Amino acid sequence: MSFTTDVKNELCSYSLSKKDEKIVMYGFLYSLKEQKEYFTESEAISEYLRKISGEKKPLVRLAQRRGKSGTLLKFDGIGFDFGNYNISSELVNGRDENTGLFLRGVFLSCGIVSSPDREYHLEFTLGTEEKAEKICRLMNESGMNIKKSRRREKHILYTKDSEGITDILTFIGAMLSSMEIMNAKIYKGVRNNVNRAVNCESANIEKTVAASRKQLEDIEYIAQCNSLGILSDELRQIADIRMENIELSLTEIGKLSKPEISRSGVYRRLKKISGIADKLRRERGD
């Protein structure tokens, strides 16, 4: 079952007054294509639409589309005037509650929303530019930031903003689905932070290991040249500690030194050892 179906099933699960059901049905029918038919795989959605259609019950028959079985509802003599595409000011009178009910019907008719586990995307697909324009204006006037696009002969209203999607779902009454998207966003944020921390730690470990390996190679080269005797006592102590403890950090090497020295002190001494090794390589032509 898709997330879109989950959202629509949630919207169909709430009981409304007859007046509110009429506004939802008006929004649903307003968004249908000219042939006034609707196919759904969800029995819950089919039953809900038959329930809120009042006396003008749709013609219902089993059907298949794109290899999927479902119910085809055909609406005739629906009792609403959509001739000029204007949204009824009597039913949608500027109150947020009525606008939300109208848009609930629109979403049931032509809305889809992606699973928040994959991406953030919500859209409405309208058959005419006039309907898309009027719904877009209504949504933006109600504080929802929705964009317009066109896909072949279809007119699309869409948003890819997670907060915009949760606002729309909350506005049309799908509070549980809205919470699911918010929870998914929180989970993604935590997971991304953990991944960044792990990647950063891994990178630091790799850099430490690479540096330790280079320091060990320098010390071993000096030993191969029988030149450890040219190291001062301070440098020889650091060289011995590094050779015996390749996995230690500079801070840990400093704590083993006698007397104990700082990380920067260890770094300076190892740098001097590296300089001596490089000088020997130049002299020997290595």
- In sequence order, which residues have a C-beta less than 8 Å from that of residue 267 and are 6 or more positions away? 250
E strand intervals along the chain: 37-40, 59-65, 68-74, 111-113, 122-126, 147-151, 154-159
**Any idea what the Cα angle at residue 71 is, between residues 129 and 128, rounded to 5°?**
5
102 within 8 A of 91, measured Cβ to Cβ:
yes
Tell me the pLDDT tens digit for each residue of 108-132: 999 999 988 888 999 999 988 999 9
Tell me the pLDDT tens digit for each residue of 168-197: 999 999 999 988 888 888 877 777 788 888
Tell me the pLDDT tens digit for each residue of 53-89: 877 777 777 777 777 888 888 887 666 766 677 888 8
Q: What is the spatial distance between Cα 263 and Cα 252, in angstroms, rounded to a whole number? A: 8
For residue 156, list its beta bridge partners. 125, 149
193 within 8 A of 201, measured Cβ to Cβ:
no
pLDDT of amino acid 82 = 65
Q: What is the spatial distance between Cα 92 and Cα 70, in angstroms, rounded to a whole number? A: 31
Residue 94 DSSP label: S
